[in-house]
Structure formats: structure tokens, C-alpha cells
Structure 1
Amino acid sequence: MSTAFTRTYAQIRQALLNREELALIDVREEAPFAQGHPLFAANIPLSKLELEVYARIPRRATPVTVYDDGEGLADIAVQRLRALGYLDVALLAGGLQGWRSAGGELFIDVNVPSKAFGELVESQRHTPSLAAEEVQALLDDKADVVVLDARRFDEYQTMSIPGGISVPGAELVLRARQLAPDPATRIVVNCAGRTRSIIGTQSLINAGLANPVAALRNGTIGWTLAGQTLEHGQSRRFAATSEAQREIAANDARRVADRARVGRASFADLQRWQQEAARSTYLFDVRSPEEYEAGHLPASRSTPGGQLVQETDHFASVRGARLVLVDDDGVRANMSASWLAQLGWEVYVLDDLQPAHFSEQGPWQAPVPAPRQAEEISPQTLAEWLAEGDSLVLDFTSSANYVKRHIPGAWWALRAQLPEVLATLPPARRYVLTCGSSQLARLAVAEVEALTGKPAFLLRQGTAAWVAAQLPLETGETRLASPRIDRYRRPYEGTDNPRDAMQAYLDWEFGLVAQLARDGTHGFHVI
């Protein structure tokens, strides 16, 4: 029986309408989360709660409400969050079913606030778009047209429109003039589905670009449904922007941000906000990951602007928090902030940064609790134990990584399902735990020992060390001790999705504006 107090649907709805800070956390795995959840719920699975929550809910006094759909995960999450130092943790009254029964709207898929907002933008601004067949005809006719792909570079490499150039969303206003210097050149912006092409196209229009601009209607999904061929493995990217073009883009972006009522802040403001006990402040660097690694503000997180706008619920899981955006050119932060302000966030751009402020180097490191004690073994020791035949390997990496490669004989498991998993596995004298790096597996060592009464060991530096030692590997779904629900397969990713799934996804997106109206808590405004 839980000792946690509860918050009701009515209380959370009122807090959203009041723009108060709150974190509504779904602790199921991503696939069940994607089957239905409240609009502003953020998904932090119980399996990896400790590794994600400090970055996603940075202030320990934030009102946090957790829920599941009757699986018993939320009670455990409450205990773990309290142990991690969170002071105000509650259960959602009745769980997901309680939300539904109280009249709460449920949304399917992931990153729904941003996708619904994109549909609202198109419906209110009538963002121009071209069908796949129209764009194909322009390309066939060798028309004066450039196709700019607004997704992440890795997504672009998977599949792209013929001749398309990778220009992730926040880069569009900064780079478009260099890629289409003749104002008569038509620009077509695409993504995989709809949202990022709509936002990207509208960004260029809002910034006052002289070129005719249109979104590729329904993105690569629309292209595929039209029976047209995509390219794969392309690497066309934008080149450097001239100082003159950068200055024009900076003025355009500042004007758009001012229209959207983006706040202006100084470095001193940021330092003061970071000390506040009663408000959450996120600090996001919206430049490319390469620029971030070359030099960034201490405590900033690398979140390229297009992805921040697309996945705001993932990066800023506290609705009502303060967002502070950073760049070094005055374009990407202002354009990204203009969208976040329209998405109902209190957002600021730092205006007085100097090169000396960008004093830290290297990739972003997620803040995590101090590592738990665990007895570690080397890959060579594990190989010897496996040859003896009385050790069992549990792999807690993502299911996709497990299928790609894993230690021969290893069982894939979800940490949140350990009691059920261990009850079904063959008996062993000892257990060895791994994941890609060993970070997640380390969290499960004590749990496995407590549940089995047998010794459990950690593979030092995880499966990566096994691979580096050039020891044998297996591939495929050889031993799944849990269902592969850790990731929702998006209908717009990859190239082998069923056509009916693609069409169903587009139909769902078209219905989001009506669903937003029924929900009534979004607080969006479109400039």
C-alpha cells in the first residue's frame, strides 16, 4: 500500500492553467506511454529514472506527480524520487485511468505538445506547402529550387529527398541566404512527417526571407506514399555563412523574437536565476553539437534548437519552468525562443555573452547520482565464467542495441521488470550485469542480489569493453526476457514502415488541433 499522497486531475489542470511549475511524469516504458497520456506528461521510464531525472527535473522542490496504468511502477518511482532528494512527490489519483475517468484528454504518440502546436501554426498561418508530386516535378524540370531537410543530420542520412541538403531547423534562418542567394530560388523545407517542415517553413516566412518558401507536405512519408524514391546515406550539409548574411539573419531573428515576446536577459540575470530556490531554470545551448563541444557556458545543455522545439517535453520536463537560450550569433537562440514563447514557455535569450563565457569544452554530461558500489569483473573473466557454464548475463541496454550486438548467451531485460524476469530465467550460480557502458546495469546489481540471493557482478565498462576486447558477439532477438516496449517505433522513421501506419500517422496529426481544443490547457499562441 502506497504512503504517497495524491494529486487529482482537477489540481493538475488548474496548475497548468495558472502557469505554475509542475512535472507530470509517466514512468512506463516509451511504447505504452505512446499509446495514451496527458498532453503535458513527460516520459521518464522507471527503468532509467535515476539516470535521467536530475537533468529533466533539475530543482528538487518541484511539485512532481507520477503515474502508471496499474502496473505498480509509480509507487516504486515515488520511493526512488524521494531517495534522490525530491521533496514534493505525489501519485496521480487513480493513475492513467483516473485521468481518463475525470474527463482528461489522452494523446497518443510522442512529443505531442510540439506536434500539436505545429498543426495549430499551419491552421492559423496557412503555411504554404507543396505535394510530393509537385516537388518531384520541379526536380525533374531542373527548376530553380533547393530542398532543405530540417531534421537531425543522422535522420537525414537515413533517408532524404533527392538533392536535399541537411539544415537542421534552428539553422534555417542563419543558412538559407547562403544556400539560396537568388531571391527567386524556391525553397522547399522537409522533415519526415509534418511538424519540423511546417515550423521550418514558417520560420523563414516569419524572418522575412524574400524567396518563395513551402513545406514538403507530409515529408518523407508523403514522398513514400506517392511512390517516389528517396535517397539514402547522403552527406550534403550547409557551409559557413558570411558575416554579412549572419548580421542580416541576426536582425531578422531578433525582430521575430520581439514579436513573440521573448524575454531579454544578461549573464548576471542567469547567475541570479540559477541560485533561486523557488523557480526552475533550464539553460540550453541551441547551436550544433560540434560548436557546443568546442566551447560552451558552464551548466548549459547541448540542445540544437530544432530538436528543442520538437522535443521540448523531453528536455524541459517541468511545465511552467523558465527557459534560457544561448548561442554566439543571435540567430538560433532568438528563432528557437520565438517558437518556445508561442508554445507557452517563459523564455529568455542571453544578450551580453562574450567569448570568455564559453569556457567549458567537451560533450554534455548528464548529472547523475553518485555511482553505487558493485564488484566489477573484466571481459576476460566473464569469458572464462561463461565457458564454465554456470553464470548468467543480464543486458540492460536498449533493445535496439541488444539486437544489434550482445554477449553470446546474454538475456535482454528491462530493469523495471526484474522480479518477473528473474522468475522466468534458468537458475545460475552467479549473475553478471551489463549494458552499453555499465552505467544502467550498475543500478540493478543490488536488486538482482536481493531478488536471487546469489552474487551479482558488473561487467567493467559494459558491453563496449567486451567489444573492444574483440570477444565473440551475437546478433538478433536471441534471448528476450522482457517485451521490447522500451522504444515506440515512430511511423516516420526508417524506410520499412507499413503504408497504412504512415497514413494513420498523418491522419492523427490532422486531428490534433481539435484535440488541443478539447483539452484546453495548452496556452499556445501563434504570432
Structure 2
Amino acid sequence: MTSHPLRTYEDVRETLLAKREVALLDVREEDPHAQCHPLFAANFPLARIELDAWTRLPRRDVPIVLLDDGEGLAARAFDKFVALGYTQVALLAGALDGWIRAGGEVFRDVNVPSKAFGEFVEAQRHTPSLSAEALDALQKSGEKLVVLDARRFDEYRTMNIPGSVSVPGAELALRARALAPDPATRIVVNCAGRTRSIIGAQSLVNAGLPNPVAALRNGTIGWTLAGQTLEHGSERRFDADAGREPPILETSRQSALALATRAGVRRTSINEAARWAGETSRTTYRFDVRTPEEYESAHAPGFQGAPGGQLVQETEMFVPVRGARVVLFDDDGVRANMTASWLAQMNIDTYVVDGAHRGDLTEAGAYRPERPHPAPSPKISPRELAALLDDTSAGAVLLDVAPSANYVRSHIPGAHWILRSHLASAYDDVRNLPDARRYVLTCGSGALAAFAAADLAALTGKPVSVLDGGNAAWTRVGLPTEGGEAKLASPRIDRYRRPYEGVGNAREAMQAYLDWEYGLVAQLERDGTHGFFVI
């Protein structure tokens, strides 16, 4: 049996407290991760390591500690990280059970550092809030009122408080003064649950808005539990120019800069950040916190798009290396400083770019991550695949390794869905995955399927092809698709069903989620590694 380097709970804890770099990575799928994990364990599924590693872990000699729940996934992940060039990789001694037996605190749900921080802020600052019943009464009274939804626009469109406007995260500090120019207008900030409502409302309080400001207590969950009706498919969102009028913008800029300075945020330049990114002794993340539309229009090389609100909400996913340096960019002096003020209070070494010019934004389009090249595999075109699947004598089986939600929504007729990490176990059980003379792999774009092809070929000894361009290419040429959960060769554990997401959630699950959030501050105190503070 191959032995691997190990790091103990005590070692990892001491590293966190000393603010030295460490990436504590839970390589299970998202659902088992959400059931139980250490506070700063970032979910990093085994199935996606090749796609995500070089972006989320940009320094190849960063210390990495891998954990699972004893399934053997961490050992498999170790081999993948080493093959990708990482030089300081270890397994957590005793896996998750070892962490617990050593006295380590464990948490449920996802994005826990950010959610716990939100509760910490509310407990320290007593962020003003309104109940769903109080907001409903205010709306009916005709009082001057705006409801600003701090979630992503796609979440807002799924369900929203009636009459609310989509103003995601860091946009609040830039846009709110223009959206509520009368100081008598009450501003209520909401999200689905609590975190983004609290951080959004406290951002406006911190920024010194003269308006009465409050968070909608428990967000759309609280609204639903109070028996109120939500809207669906709304398109209301802030105007792109809102808040950019010179007098308003200067006021917002000065207040955001003052907050960032109080929180200990430091300043840098585009060129210095680029030099930092090339260092081998320190991990540096560079994020552009403007809207996705602004980012894709033009951005600086090396900067990833990370809208400020989501960066604060999903910090451990964007920044899995605890102890790393984070650099933020915007073009207004408001969004980056406000976002930075929160990251700094989350005990993250944070900088904001000053002095950038339009000429620095030399790239356009979506972020193009650097990825390794998969082992060569034969490609098959969509029409060739269609003919192959129609030929029953060919003995071909099509496997789809896309996210399960995408498969259920739409997939190629006859495809089996499988987790890449479950290929071996599913192949051993012919009840889940039938034998074939040849296999074809697909996913949304074909990227993940290309990496899975070598795994499947080594496992089965059968010919394995990859659908060129994946399911997107199949759809582009007009070939048929179907939906549903037929032919699942793996359990759908790649996605944790959030009680605050979408519609149709059980009231008991929503209430249990709120009760869990209320307990996070006590868990933080027991854990003792966070280093959070509040200005």
C-alpha cells in the first residue's frame, strides 16, 4: 500500500492561526461536503481537479491538505495534484473522522465561512432588520420605500419580493444613493436567507447613507414562512449609469475608501499585482469585482471576474488558499473598496488597485482559465454519434459526466449520467452501467469528458471516444434532446440542494436552515481559527 505525506489536525490548526498559507481541500462531491466539514475546507471535487486546479490554486508549491471521509478519494486526488505539478501535497491524518476525534469543529452547508461571518457581523453591529410582516405593512402603507435584492440576477429572476429591484452585492454601495435619492426613503435589502441581506444592509449603514436602512429578516425564506407571495420572472434591475453621477459617485467613493482604510486594506497597481502573481513564495488572487457584463466588455489580463457580492458570499470557493493575498479591481473606486473592506474583516490580506486606466483593460470576453492538456482520445462528431447510437449492433454506450442538474434538464437520448469519480464503482456494478463494446463520453462542452476518457479506457480496456464539443455541439446542429432522471449510474450527490434556493422547498427545511444560521456564531467561537473582526 502506497503511503502519503500526512498533516494532522493540530498542524493545520496552527497553520491557520499563524496565517500561513494552506489549502484545506475536501475532494468529495458537494452534497457530502455540505453534510460535514471543517470551517475552512473548500469543496474541490476529485472529478474536476484538472479543470479547476491551476485557477483556484495558482501557485504550484502551495501547501495542500486533502480530506475525504475515508472513501479513498483523497489518495486519488493526491496523484492528480502531483501529476499537475503541485509539490507540497499531503492528506489529512485520519481523514474527516481524524479531524473530529482530535477535537476539530465541523460545519454543515456550503460557503460556511461567509455565512458565519455574516452572522458574526450581525451579532457585533446589530444590523437593523425588518420582519416580513413589517415589510408587507410598509408596502401597503404607501411609505417611501425601495427593496433591493442583493443576490445574483439569475437568483432574483427565479423568485423575488414583490416590487423589489435587483442590485447584486457590491453594486449596492455604488447604486443605492441614486435609487433612493430622498433621504426619507427607506431602503430594505434582501437575499434568499440572511447573509447577503445582512452584509448588504450593513454596507449601506457603513457607507453613511442618510436613509433608514434595514435587512429583510431571513430574506425570501422569511417572506415565504410568513405566508407572503413571491414574484417570479422579474426583470427589474438597476440602470447601468445609476450612482455614476459625479457628485453622487464622489460621495460613494470617499466613504468606500474610508471604510477600506479602516479595515486595513492596502493599495497596489496593475503592474505590481502582475509581479506578485508570478511569485513562487506567495499566492496572489486577482479579481475584477464589476458586473459580468462590464468584465466581458474589457478587463485587465490575469484578473478573474468575481462580482463583489458573490466574492464575499462564496469566499472559500474563489480563494481556497487561506493566508493568500487578494487584489481587487473596479473602475469607480466604490465596489472594490467596499468588497475589500469585508474581505479584510474576514482576516484576508486584501489590496485594491489604484491608478488603473482604460488602456490597462486589454482583454475581453469570459475568463479563459489555464488548464492542462488531456491525454489524446478519439473524437466523434455529433452526427457520427447519432448514427452510432442508431446502430444497435455497434454496442456503444454514451456516458454523460456533466453536472446532474444539467443532465436532468437536457441530455442526449439514451445517455447514462455518471459522476467521473464513480466510474470504477459503477463499472463494477453492471446494474448501474451496462457493458459495451465501445464507450462515448460527453458533458456540456466536452472539457471534462476529455479528461474522463483516459480513466474509462484504463478501467475497461475498451475503445473510448469523446463527443467533439460536447452536448453544446449536439444541440447546435439541431439534434434532439430529452430531460428527466432516467439512466442515472450515480447518486445525484454533485449538488447540495440548498433550502433557500429555487422554489418548492419544504417549510421545515427552510426553518431548519435559519435555525442553523443562528447557531453559527457559537460554532465560530468553538472553532477559534477564523480571525474575523468588525469595524
Q: Any residues of structure 2 matched to 1:296-311 within 5 Å, and which? A: 296-311=299-314
Q: Distance in 1 between matches of 2:2 and 2:258?
A: 52
Check the 8 A contact 1:2/1:75 in 2, yes or no.
no
The alpha-carbon deviation at position 268 of structure 1 amounts to 3.6
Aligned to 1:337: 340
Check the 8 A contact 1:295/1:361 in 2, yes or no.
yes
Aligned to 1:9: 9
One-letter amino acid of the counterpart of residue 483, structure 1: P
SS at match of 1:442: helix
Aligned to 2:264: 261
The alpha-carbon deviation at position 243 of structure 1 amounts to 2.4
* TM-score where L is the length of structure 1: 0.99
Q: Distance in 2 between matches of 1:227 and 1:494?
A: 17
Q: Distance in 2 between matches of 1:286 and 1:361?
A: 15
Aligned to 2:478: 470
The alpha-carbon deviation at position 481 of structure 1 amounts to 0.2
Equivalent position to 1:323, from 318, 326, 335? 326
Q: Which moved more, 1:367-376 or 1:17-26?
A: 367-376
Aligned to 2:396: 391
Q: Distance in 1 between matches of 2:511 and 2:369?
A: 37
The alpha-carbon deviation at position 472 of structure 1 amounts to 2.1
Q: Distance in 1 between matches of 2:518 and 2:117?
A: 11
- Structure 2: gaps spanning 5 or more residues: none
- Asked if 1:416 corresponds to 2:421, the answer is yes
The alpha-carbon deviation at position 374 of structure 1 amounts to 1.1
The alpha-carbon deviation at position 381 of structure 1 amounts to 1.1
Equivalent position to 1:405, from 407, 410, 413? 410
- Asked if 1:90 corresponds to 2:90, the answer is yes
Aligned to 1:146: 146
Q: Any residues of structure 2 matched to 1:18-417 within 5 Å, and which? A: 18-239=18-239, 240-241=241-242, 242-389=245-392, 390-417=395-422
SS at match of 1:222: helix
* TM-score where L is the length of structure 2: 0.98
Q: Distance in 2 between matches of 1:308 and 1:172?
A: 14
Check the 8 A contact 1:264/1:350 in 2, yes or no.
yes
Aligned to 1:432: 440
- Structure 1: gaps spanning 5 or more residues: none
Aligned to 2:532: 524
RMSD: 0.8
CA deviation vs aligned residue, 1:259-298 (integer Å, no higher than 9, x gap): 1111111234213312321000000000001111111110
The alpha-carbon deviation at position 388 of structure 1 amounts to 1.2
SS at match of 1:458: strand
Q: Any residues of structure 2 matched to 1:449-468 within 5 Å, and which? A: 449-468=457-476
Check the 8 A contact 1:153/1:168 in 2, yes or no.
yes
The alpha-carbon deviation at position 236 of structure 1 amounts to 0.6
Q: Distance in 2 between matches of 1:58 and 1:189?
A: 35
SS at match of 1:187: strand
How many equivalent residue pairs? Answer: 527
The alpha-carbon deviation at position 57 of structure 1 amounts to 0.8
Aligned to 1:482: 490
TM-aligned CA distance change 1:379 to 1:266, over 3 Å: closer
SS at match of 1:169: coil
Q: Which moved more, 1:331-340 or 1:386-395?
A: 386-395
One-letter amino acid of the counterpart of residue 79, structure 1: D
Q: Which moved more, 1:509-518 or 1:422-431?
A: 422-431
Q: Which moved more, 1:5-14 or 1:48-57?
A: 48-57
One-letter amino acid of the counterpart of residue 419, structure 1: A
Q: Distance in 2 between matches of 1:329 and 1:318?
A: 28
Q: Distance in 1 between matches of 2:374 and 2:93?
A: 33
The alpha-carbon deviation at position 371 of structure 1 amounts to 3.4
Identity %: 62
CA deviation vs aligned residue, 1:365-409 (integer Å, no higher than 9, x gap): 222112331100111111111111211000000000000111111
Q: Distance in 1 between matches of 2:273 and 2:475?
A: 43
Check the 8 A contact 2:274/2:302 in 1, yes or no.
no
Q: Distance in 1 between matches of 2:518 and 2:158?
A: 25
Q: Distance in 2 between matches of 1:235 and 1:90?
A: 48
CA deviation vs aligned residue, 1:458-516 (integer Å, no higher than 9, x gap): 11101111112222222100100000000001100011100000000000000000000
Check the 8 A contact 1:9/1:98 in 2, yes or no.
yes
